[in-house]
Amino acid sequence: MTERFPARMHDVTDETRAIVDLVLEYSRGRLLAEDTPLDKPLPPSELRRLAGRTIDADGIGARKAIGVFEHILAPSCISTDDPRYLSFIPSAPSKAAAAFDLVVSASALYGGSWLEGAGAVHAENEVLRWLADEFGLPAGAGGVFVQGGTLGNLSALVAARETARARGIRPDRWRVVCSAEAHSSIASAARVMDVEVVAVPVADDGMLRGEAVSAALAEHGESVFAVVATAGSTNFGIVDDIASVSAVTREHSVWLHVDGAYGLAAMLSPIARHRFAGVENADSVIVDPHKWLFAPFDACALIYRDPELGRRAHTQHAEYLDTLTETSDWSPSDYAVHLTRRPRGLPLWFSLATYGTDVYRDAITRSIELAERIAAEIERRPELTLVRRPQLGVVVFERVGWERSDYARWSSDLLERQHAFVTPSSHTGRTNARFAILNPRTTYDDLTGILDTMA
Ligand SMILES: *Cc1c(COP(=O)(O)O)cnc(C)c1O
């Protein structure tokens, strides 16, 4: 048996070259397009009808498949990098980062272990080191890029609980303290971990402060294994008073986790940096590069003050992994709830290396300034009410006299007309409209144009 099975899918042949050319050509077109439409979803039945059957025993071929993608599937996916995509938290990958994502895929890189991916892990760690320095974390800090903030929060909280356990604490029920405005992923992590969330009410300004945390710790004692401060809430972009929270967690020796998935990137901006005082005291932090650090989906930077605590909580042991775990090498798999991983920090690394860090600071500053400007404009318009003064890039406002159904109709009409993607949100039971501004290509005129549709 010396003859090799013809490896049509893997050998380099004329067919292979044609497929690669097709894909690169499409990617080049999309990356360099200046008029990508916003697009909108189609119902399942419609997609089934239009796309037809694409998977059968013989294949439909690359040309036909990419045609289905280009003309049917892609137009049914909203372009999250559109400057008038202002819902949820948008995504605006830099061109260098988005392009380099192709390189990561093309290179068959494994980012789980030092043994297999040393070069990639080295570059990812340089990015994590830079972020840790920006956040004021000590020289020993380190971590890993995981899939998203949800997994980052879960991994940090698991490490926090393991650390409390290792100190001999054995409560009947473990608890995590956070603000009532914390992200839903904290509750999700708590469900997975089977622990209780103590959601502390916040003042009118939406900020969690040390006093409230102090009261929660007094009530629940040692059963609290972690306190979560939010550095930029998703709904409002509000940053908790991390300095006063961290004074309390230090006094009680409780783990402080800072969820900065959306907002911590703003610490790079000189006009917002002061809001994050106290982050330097965190035991763990997360920030999502796929949000305000202009990297493609999906990447969350998880950084531990003492990575050894993350490693103890997460390293998987098995006979077939002994080669990896019986060394002191830095293996990213050991620092979160995962094993196999792509080195998803590399697109950010390449982009930072390409452009330098100053343009990041400028781009973030610009969005914060734009949010302030449009908030002032909203206050000038009699039919609109600003719900809260923005701290970062999220602007929340109401249209006087509108009910939930009015917002819903307005929002779907905007998308139907391909004008913008702005979904309604709500606060204390009242529906509102919300701009999440982070795309450097979003202009003041884009925003006033949308406000005009509410007049
Ligand atoms: C987006 C977000 C998360 C969740 O991150 P994913 O990457 O979507 O999993 C967690 N916390 C905050 C504050 C967020 O804004």
The verdict on residue 49 lying in a domain is yes
Residue 318: pLDDT band with limits 50, 70, 90: confident
* Same-domain pairing of 419 and 448: yes
For 205, how many CA atoms within 13 A lie in the half-sphere containing its CB? Answer: 9
The CA 260 to ligand 1 mean position distance, Å, reads: 8
Mean per-residue pLDDT, 38-61 = 97
Closest CA to 60 of 52, 48, 49: 52
Determine the Cα–Cα distance for residues 139 and 141; give it in Å rounded to an integer: 6
Best residue among 150, 192, 228, 302 to mutate for probing ligand 1, ranked by most atoms within 8 Å of CB = 150
Both tokens of residue 393? Answer: 């890039």
Amino acid at 389: R
**Residue 9: inside a domain:** no
**Whether 445 contacts 377, CB under 8 Å:** no
Spatial separation of the C-alpha atoms in residues 41 and 72, rounded to whole Å: 10
Look at residues 221, 218, 173 and name the one whose alpha carbon lies nearest to residue 197. Answer: 173
Q: pLDDT tens digits for 68-80?
A: 999 999 999 999 9
How confident is the model at residue 1, as a pLDDT? 54
Give, for 199, the enclosing helix (H) or strand (E). strand 196-200
pLDDT bucket at 319, cuts 50 / 70 / 90: confident
User: Distance, CA 365 to ligand 1 centroid (Å)?
Assistant: 21
In angstroms, the CA 442 to CA 373 distance is 13
Number of domains in the chain: 3
Q: What is the CATH number of the domain that holds 388?
A: 3.90.1150.170
Residues 408, 282, single domain; the answer is no
pLDDT of the residue at 203: 86
Ligand 1 atom with the shortest distance to the CA of 291? 1
Q: Name the residue range of residue 320's domain.
A: 100-354
Q: Are residues 187 and 308 in the same domain?
A: yes
β-pairing, 284-287 with 255-259? parallel
Q: What three-state secondary structure class fits 446?
A: helix
Q: Which residues of 337-376 are buried (b: 16+ CB within 10 A; e: fewer)?
A: bbbebbbbbbbbbbbbeebeeeebbebbbbbbebbbebbe
85 domain residue, yes or no: no
Contact 37, 415 (CB under 8 A): no
| In a domain? residue 8 | no
Same domain, residue pair 193 and 160: yes
Question: pTM, whole model, 2 decimals?
Answer: 0.98
Q: What is the DSSP string of 323-379?
A: HHHTS----GGGGSS-SS---TTHHHHHHHHHH-SHHHHHHHHHHHHHHHHHHHHHH
Q: Which of 317, 334, 354 is the last residue of a domain?
A: 354
User: For position 2, what pLDDT does the model report?
Assistant: 64
User: Does residue 70 share a domain with residue 104?
Assistant: no
Rounded to a whole number of angstroms, the CA Rg of the chain reads 24
Enter the tokens of residue 264: 């911590």
Task: Supply the pLDDT for residue 324.
Answer: 83
Provide the phi-psi class of 133: left if phi over 0, else alpha when psi is between -120 and 50, else beta: alpha
Residue 325 pLDDT: 81
Same domain, 336 and 406: no
Q: Within 13 A of 438's CA, how many CA atoms are on the CB side?
A: 31
386 and 439 both lie in a single domain: yes
Do residues 192 and 276 both lie within one domain? yes
- pLDDT digits 0-9 by tens, 269-307: 999 999 999 999 999 999 999 999 999 999 999 999 999
Distance CA 174, CA 9 (A): 51
Can you tell me which atom of ligand 1 is nearest the CA of 185? 10
pLDDT value at 159 more than 60: yes
Residue 64 within any structural domain of the chain: yes
Same domain, 53 and 116: no
Q: Decide if 385 contacts 49 (C-beta within 8 A).
A: no
From ligand 1's centre to the CA of 150, what distance in Å?
A: 6
Q: Tell me the CA–centroid distance for residue 146 and ligand 1, in Å.
A: 12
User: 92-128, pLDDT tens digit by residue?
Assistant: 999 999 999 999 999 999 999 999 999 999 999 999 9
Please indicate, yes or no, whether residues 289 and 365 belong to a single structural domain of this protein: no
Closest CA to 209 of 174, 237, 249: 249
Report the separation in Å between the CA atom of 65 and the middle of ligand 1, taken as the mean of its atom positions.
33
Contact by Cβ (8 Å): 237, 370? no
Domain assignment of residue 172, yes or no: yes
Does residue 369 lie in a domain region? yes
89 occurs within a structural domain: no
- Domain stops at, among 354, 378, 400: 354
Percent of the chain with pLDDT over 90: 96
Note whether 193 and 213 are same-domain residues: yes
Rounded to the nearest whole angstrom, what is the distance from the C-alpha of residue 64 to the centroid of ligand 1? Answer: 37
Ligand 1, residue 300: give the atom nearest the CA. 7
Residue 225's identity, in one-letter code, is: F
The CATH number of the domain holding residue 329 is 3.40.640.10
Q: Given the structure tokens 């025993």, which residue do they identify? A: 57
The mean predicted confidence, pLDDT, of the chain is: 97
Residues framing ligand 1 (Cβ under 6 A)? 89, 148-150, 153, 183, 185, 230, 234, 259, 261-262, 288, 300
Same domain flag for 206 and 241: yes
Q: Residue 22: left (phi > 0), alpha (psi -120 to 50), or beta?
A: alpha
Residue 237 CA to ligand 1 centre (angstroms): 12
Final residue of a domain: which of 31, 46, 77?
77
Determine the residue of 183, 233, 338, 391 to mutate for testing ligand 1's pocket, defined as the one with the most ligand atoms within 8 A of the Cβ atom.
183
